Amino acid sequence: MNYKSLIKVCAASTVMMTMSAQVVMAADSFNPTQTKSIETIVHDYLVNNPEVLVEASQALQQKQQQNVQQQAKAAISENAAQLFGGKLAVAGNPKGNVTLVEFFDYQCIHCKKMSPIVAELIKKDNNLRVIYKEFPIFGESSETASKVALAAAMQGKYMQMHEALLKLESRLDDKLVMSTAKSVGLNMTTLQKDMDSKTVKDILAENRTLAEKMHLMGTPAFVVASTPAGQFDAKSDPTFIPGAASEEALQDLIKKAAGN
């Protein structure tokens, strides 16, 4: 069974449990014989009309997705200054009229797969700004990698470190992270000091807070928004993508945000 099928089965199960719970809650209004008859009618109807469960599960998924979007969009507007105000971990046009924000972890397989896609978007669009939000959720080595990348940014080498870490195929450990930092030409003494700086700690703490407010369940997660001259347009309709996406899908959202 593939992932999408599993989701549908789970959603259908949820619908069935909800309907059953509603019948049970209504049981006090009927005698035992009436309750049994109702349960039999519901059971037989669902067995004979299974497409109803599919329709109900699809409606449930759509409603859940709408709720996720509404919560995320509210959080984006309320926290725009923090979300679009990054300076260290930035690529593309610093004053791009569209901004793509990515929450990611260096040990996230899907984040690694998205890296060349995001790079291609930057290459093709001179008006795109990308803000990387370090969101280490896969343990201490992810935390170390994020600290090193942000410390590298303080030496003007964020993208070199960022891309080098995402290209690593081996599972990260502190030794591998530091040897990678050395390979991109960083001053290791300065790096060690900057990793523990207030600047780096504050950025990571802010990213976690933002992720919490947006109810992020994992990585990657993207935000696409209109940012004329690099400033968030409060009247625009930003888009939240809770997961990986194709280059075509992201490009369409970028064009939409740009007003094209």
Higher local confidence (pLDDT), 144 or 17: 144
With contact defined as beta carbons under 8 Å apart, do 91 and 159 qualify?
Answer: yes
- Nearest CA to 89 out of 173, 17, 159 is that of 159
Q: What is the pLDDT of residue 31?
A: 79
Contacts of 240 (CB under 8 A, 6+ apart): 68, 69, 72, 73, 76, 214, 221, 222, 223
Mean pLDDT value of segment 25-50: 75
Q: How would residue 38 be classed by pLDDT, with cut points 50, 70 and 90?
A: confident
Q: Give me the pLDDT at residue 260, please.
A: 64
Name the pTM for this structure.
Answer: 0.76
Residue 194 has a CB neighbour count (10 Å cut-off) of 20
Rounded to an integer, what distance in angstroms lies between the CA atom of residue 28 and that of residue 84?
Answer: 54
Which pLDDT score, from 0 to 100, does residue 252 have? 96
Q: Which two tokens stand for residue 216?
A: 């992020």
Q: Give Cα separations from 185 to 91, 156, 160, 170 (angstroms).
A: 19, 11, 9, 21
* Structure-derived torsion over alpha carbons of residues 153, 198, 189, 106, reported in degrees to the nearest 10: -50
Q: CB neighbours (10 Å) of residue 82?
A: 14
The stretch 119-138 carries a mean pLDDT of 96
Tell me, what's the pLDDT at 35?
A: 77
Poorest-pLDDT segment among 24-28, 47-51, 220-224: 24-28
pLDDT of residue 145: 98
Q: Among candidates 198, 225, 190, 227, which has minimal Cα distance to 102?
A: 225
pLDDT at 85 over 80: yes
- 147 pLDDT band (50/70/90 cuts)? very high
Instruction: Identify the pLDDT of residue 28.
Output: 60
Report the mean per-residue pLDDT for the chain.
86
Q: Is the pLDDT of residue 218 over 70?
A: yes
From residue 181, alpha-carbon distances to 36, 106, 178, 257 in Å are 68, 14, 5, 36
Q: Please tell me the predicted confidence (pLDDT) of residue 43.
A: 79
CA distance 245 to 217: 16
Say yes or no to pLDDT of 74 above 90: no
